[in-house]
Amino acid sequence: MPARNEAALIGAVLDRLLAEVSSPCEVLVVVDRPDDATVGVVERQPGRWPGVSCLVNGRGTGPAQAIRAGVAAARAPVLVVTMADGSDDAGQIEALAGLVEGGAAVAAASRYTAGGRQLGGQWPKCLLSRLAGRSLQLLARPGTCDATNSFKAYSAALVDSVGIDSRHGFEVGIELTAKARRLRLPVAELPTTWRGRPAGRSGFRLVRWLPHYLRWYAFCFGPPLTAQQVRAKTSRAA
Ligand SMILES: Nc1nc2c(ncn2[C@@H]2O[C@H](COP(=O)(O)OP(=O)(O)O)[C@@H](O)[C@H]2O)c(=O)[nH]1
Ligand SMILES: [Mg+2]
């Protein structure tokens, strides 16, 4: 769970998450700085949220780095990325994880499938992500109409085999969906309702992050690859 300055919202989000998830789980709230007030809220109430801890990410700032750090520290075979501002329906975490346990490499919560909804949020971002998600499913068939939503479950085996190259915004979701597509691994989806934050400011940087999204949109297209070939084509060291 990437978090920046979420002191006002994190408590309710963790209450809801722990009420909804009955399977054993570890929750990592990943902040960029030790003085982020989110940490104070979580640590001031020891025992209130069992299994929840804060991770201060030393790798670099921004959502992609936070997600990478959380994924690297997580020990479970199924990983779920969800937001700390309450945008995601925590009631779907179990179902998404269940799809991965059942064999999907990626399970996406989709705003753009029949039954899905998006409430609030900045309209240019909403419009572009809808256009990207729908057109991608039409043209490249990755298995979800909402490749850009961050609320997804992943098999840890997928992430281990191909790694995460994103370093900027929330493009990790489309990156791993694109990689699963090129590996021809199953991607599943469920309709979801996404909500714009009720308080605080969105950290989304549409113009700055767009090129990174486009890179992974393009990577969805093309012949099947092995994990080794995916790494060779995408890894920064390559
Ligand atoms: N660690 C970390 N988390 C971030 C950063 N920017 C946003 N987040 C978190 O990512 C989630 C989604 O961010 P938000 O600003 O709501 O983006 P939006 O919903 O796409 O407008 C929230 O949990 C934020 O706290 C960042 O720079 N670092
Ligand atoms: Mg948000």
CATH of the domain at 99: 3.90.550.10
What is the predicted pLDDT for the residue at 238? 40
Ligand nearest to the CA of 125: 1
Instruction: Say whether pLDDT at 54 is over 90.
Output: yes
* Confidence category of residue 59, pLDDT binned at 50, 70, 90: confident
Q: Which stretch of 67-71, 96-100, 111-115, 123-127 has the lowest confidence by average pLDDT?
A: 123-127
For ligand 1, the distance from its centroid to the CA atom of residue 60, given in whole angstroms, is 14
- Which sign, positive or negative, has the C-alpha torsion 60, 93, 138, 186? positive
Q: At residue 73, what is the residue type?
A: A
Ligand 1 site, residue 229, Cβ cutoff 6 A? no
What is the predicted pLDDT for the residue at 16? 98
Determine, yes or no, domain membership for 49.
Answer: yes
Pocket test for ligand 1, best of 30, 33, 83 (most atoms within 8 A of CB): 83
Domain that holds residue 120: 10-234
Instruction: Say whether pLDDT at 237 is over 70.
Output: no
What is the predicted pLDDT for the residue at 197? 93
CA 213, chain centre distance (Å): 14
Look at 55 and 200; give whichever has higher pLDDT. Answer: 55
Which pTM was predicted? 0.97
Determine, yes or no, domain membership for 204.
Answer: yes
Place of tokens 């599943």: 188
Ligand 1 site, residue 69, Cβ cutoff 6 A? no
Mean pLDDT, the chain, whole residue set: 96
Determine, yes or no, domain membership for 2.
Answer: no
Determine, yes or no, domain membership for 222.
Answer: yes
Determine, yes or no, domain membership for 1.
Answer: no
- Strand-pair category, 106-110 with 152-155: antiparallel
What is the predicted pLDDT for the residue at 46? 86
Determine, yes or no, domain membership for 4.
Answer: no
Number of domains in the chain: 1
Cβ 93 vs Cβ 17: under 8 Å: yes
